[in-house]
Amino acid sequence: MIEFTNVSKTYKNGTPALQNVSFKVEKGEFVFIVGSSGAGKSTIIKTILREEVPSSGMVMVNGSNLIRMRRRQIPKYRRSLGVVFQDFRLIPNMSVYDNVAFALRVTNVVSREVRSRVPYVLKLLGLAGKAKSMPDQISGGEQQRVALARALVNNPAIIIADEPTGNIDPELSFEIIDLLSEINIQGGTTILMVTHEHELVSYFNKRVINIEDGRIRSDTRAAGGGELFTGADVMATHARELPSRQLAIDFSDTTPRSLMDDYEARKRREAREAARRRP
């Protein structure tokens, strides 16, 4: 679905951002991309979006060869991806509703569909009450969720997210990844997500690609089972399965368990309440 083969990228000013990067993401995978600031994560994302073209190497996404892609093919290609940017990129003079609807309208979805799908994703992301607000009238976390709603509304085969939880509180970050995880599992949507948040990465048991200085330092598969693990569990499992590899990230600085415990307790409570409401 996404394949990088020996991709190198040197920006015009001579900065080497990627050096000989190769990886392959299959349909239905959920992959975290981690690494320190300036490591090359956004360059990978921009390459997939065809905003940057590699200096050498090969990139295939969903059957398209991005190196050979013609300029006029790019808009259609981009519309096939659900994208959440580091800086949201909401349209300032459009309401929340229209920001999301716009993503559908540019793909020529009929208005009846727009009227049913937009309220649905807004509700899914807890934004139903904000449909008429303008981007500057809502909080950073809400703006983040609008960006996510816009990425989801087309039901894309691939979701690409550059720090979608960068500006929101930890509780909500869990929610958003939980939601993405559900979309990944239920819909088979391929998800590639850049994040700085070690706690999230260690909590959600997914594949982790670690970029350092423009190179892949490690690429660790999720441990089996698909259930939730604590950082320590993930680390132990990875250490067992991949003895010769360095761990993707240092899990030693994960924040206290209480946050995870709160989250799990709340999820269980919600599930109980939902079960009670069912006839």
Instruction: Using CB under 5 A, list all residues that contact Mg ion.
Output: 42
Alpha helices in the chain (DSSP H): 41-48, 74-79, 96-105, 111-124, 140-152, 170-187, 198-203, 231-241, 257-277
Q: List CB contacts of 150: < 8 A, sequence separation 6 or more.
A: 84, 90, 99, 100, 102, 103
- Tell me the pairing of strands 30-34 and 207-212: parallel
d(Cα 103, Cα 186) in Å, to the nearest integer?
22
Cα gap 264→279, rounded to integer Å: 25
In the complex, minimum distance from the CB of residue 266 to Mg ion, in angstroms, rounded to a whole number:
31
Using Cβ positions, the residue closest to Mg ion within the complex turns out to be 42
Contact between 252 and ligand ATP by CB under 6 A: the answer reads no
CB of 279 to Mg ion, least distance (A): 48
Q: Name the residue among 176, 173, 185 with its Cα closest to residue 125.
A: 176
220 lies in the binding site for ligand ATP (CB under 6 A): no
Write down the residue that tokens 């392959």 correspond to: 24
Minimum distance, C-beta of residue 211 to ligand ATP, in the bound complex (Å):
6
166 touching ligand ATP, by CB under 6 A: no
Residue 18 or residue 131: which is nearer to ligand ATP going by CB? 18
- Could you say whether residue 210 binds ligand ATP (CB under 6 A)? no
Complex with ligand ATP: residue 22 or 137, whichever CB lies closer: 22
Using the Cα atoms of residue 54, residue 59, residue 65 and residue 71 in order, give the sign of their dihedral. negative
Residue 13 binding ligand ATP, by CB under 6 A:
yes
103 binds, among Mg ion, ligand ATP, none (CB under 5 to 8 A by kind): none
Task: State the Cα–Cα distance between residues 33 and 36, nearest whole angstrom.
Answer: 10
Residue numbers 34-63 binding ligand ATP by CB under 6 A = 35, 37-43
Q: Which does 15 bind (CB under 5 to 8 A by kind): Mg ion, ligand ATP, none?
A: ligand ATP
Binding residues for ligand ATP, rule: CB under 6 A, are: 11, 13, 15, 17, 35, 37-43
